[in-house]
Structure 1
Amino acid sequence: MNNKLNEDRKFTLWVLAWPVFIELFLQFLLGTVDTLMVSRISDHAVAVVGFSNQLFNALTTLFATVASGAGIVIAQKIGSRREEEARTVAIIAFKVTAVIGLVLSVILIMLPRPIAEILQLPEELLPLAEVYISIVGGGMILTAIMSTLGTAIRNTGNTKGPMYTAVGMNIIHIVMNYCFIFGAFGFPQWGLTGVAISTVISRLIACIVLMFIFLGTFERRIGLKDFSLFDRKLFKEVLVIGWPLGINSASWVFSQLAIFSFLAILGSTELAARTYMNTLESFCFLLGFSLALASQIQIAHLYGAGKTREAYSSVYRMLRVGLPLVIVNAFILVLFGRHVLGLFTQDHEILSLCASLLWLNLLLQPGKMVNMAIGNALNAVGDTRFTMNISLIFMWVVATGCSYLLGVSLGWGIVAIYVCMISDEYIRAVLSYFRWKDRKYLRLREEDMSRNNSSQLTTEVVHSC
Structure 2
Amino acid sequence: MKSKRNPYGLWTLAWPIFIEVLLQTLLGTADTVMVSRISDDAVAVVGLSAQLFSALTTLFMTISGGAGILIAQKLGSRRSEDARAIAIMGLTVSGGIGLAISLVLYTQAANLAGLLNVSAELLPLWKVYVSYFGGGMVLTALIAALSTAIRNTGNTKTPMYIGIAMNVIHIAMNYALIFGKFGLPEWGLFGVTVSGNVSRLIAVLLLFYVFIYAFDRKVGFKDLFLFKPKLFKEIVHIGWPLGVNMSGWVFSQLAIYTFIAMLGAAELATKTYMNTLESFCFMLGYAISLAVQIQVAHLFGAGKTREAYVGAYRALAIGLGLATANALLLLAAGRYLLGLFSGNEEILTLGASLLALNLLLQPGKVLNMALNNALNAVGDTRYTMGIALFSLAVVATAGSYVLGIQAGWGLTGIYCCMIADEWVRGIFVLRRWRGQKYLRRAEAASRRPESLASETGLSL
TM-score by length of 1: 0.89
Query: Contact 2:59–2:243 (CA<8 Å) still a contact in 1?
Result: yes
- Between stretches 417-426 and 382-391, larger displacement belongs to 417-426
Deviations 1:53-103 (A, max 9, x none): 232122111111111100001000000000001000011111111111111
Query: Contact 2:20–2:164 (CA<8 Å) still a contact in 1?
Result: yes
Query: Contact 2:285–2:369 (CA<8 Å) still a contact in 1?
Result: no
Deviations 1:402-443 (A, max 9, x none): 233444556654443332222111110011101100101000
1:60-459 matched pairs, under 5 angstroms: 60-119=57-116, 128-264=125-261, 271=268, 273-337=270-334, 339-340=336-337, 354-408=351-405, 412-453=409-450
- Between stretches 24-33 and 81-90, larger displacement belongs to 24-33
Q: CA deviation at 1:208?
A: 1.2
* Structure-2 separation of matches of 1:179 and 1:289: 33
- Between stretches 47-56 and 145-154, larger displacement belongs to 47-56
Please state whether the residue corresponding to 1:9 is helix, strand or coil. coil
Paired residue type of 1:301? H
What residue is the counterpart of 2:49 in the other structure? 52
What residue is the counterpart of 1:463 in the other structure? none
Distance change in 2, residues 1:56/1:298 (3 Å): same
Query: Contact 2:69–2:152 (CA<8 Å) still a contact in 1?
Result: yes
Deviations 1:238-275 (A, max 9, x none): 11111111111111122223333444555666555544
Distance change in 2, residues 1:435/1:406 (3 Å): same
* Structure-1 separation of matches of 2:45 and 2:273: 12
* Structure-2 separation of matches of 1:404 and 1:194: 40
Query: Contact 1:145–1:207 (CA<8 Å) still a contact in 2?
Result: yes
Q: Extract unaligned runs of 5+ from structure 1.
A: 458-465
* Structure-2 separation of matches of 1:114 and 1:293: 37
Identity over aligned residues, as a percent?
58
What residue is the counterpart of 1:460 in the other structure? none
* Structure-2 separation of matches of 1:310 and 1:391: 26
Distance change in 2, residues 1:456/1:192 (3 Å): closer
* Structure-2 separation of matches of 1:240 and 1:456: 21
Query: Contact 2:447–2:453 (CA<8 Å) still a contact in 1?
Result: no
Distance change in 2, residues 1:388/1:415 (3 Å): same
Paired residue type of 1:157? G
* Structure-1 separation of matches of 2:166 and 2:225: 29
Paired residue type of 2:286? F
* Structure-2 separation of matches of 1:453 and 1:55: 50
Distance change in 2, residues 1:274/1:142 (3 Å): farther
Please state whether the residue corresponding to 1:157 is helix, strand or coil. coil
Please state whether the residue corresponding to 2:227 is helix, strand or coil. coil
Distance change in 2, residues 1:132/1:366 (3 Å): farther
Query: Contact 1:23–1:167 (CA<8 Å) still a contact in 2?
Result: yes
Distance change in 2, residues 1:208/1:394 (3 Å): same
Distance change in 2, residues 1:89/1:116 (3 Å): same
Please state whether the residue corresponding to 2:427 is helix, strand or coil. helix
* Structure-2 separation of matches of 1:209 and 1:203: 10
Q: Extract unaligned runs of 5+ from structure 2.
A: 455-460
Distance change in 2, residues 1:337/1:68 (3 Å): same
* Structure-2 separation of matches of 1:195 and 1:401: 37
Query: Contact 1:122–1:267 (CA<8 Å) still a contact in 2?
Result: no
* Structure-1 separation of matches of 2:153 and 2:122: 43
What residue is the counterpart of 2:27 in the other structure? 30
Distance change in 2, residues 1:108/1:352 (3 Å): farther
What residue is the counterpart of 1:461 in the other structure? none
Q: CA deviation at 1:399?
A: 1.3
Query: Contact 2:107–2:131 (CA<8 Å) still a contact in 1?
Result: yes
* Structure-1 separation of matches of 2:94 and 2:374: 24
Query: Contact 1:109–1:134 (CA<8 Å) still a contact in 2?
Result: yes
Distance change in 2, residues 1:356/1:207 (3 Å): farther
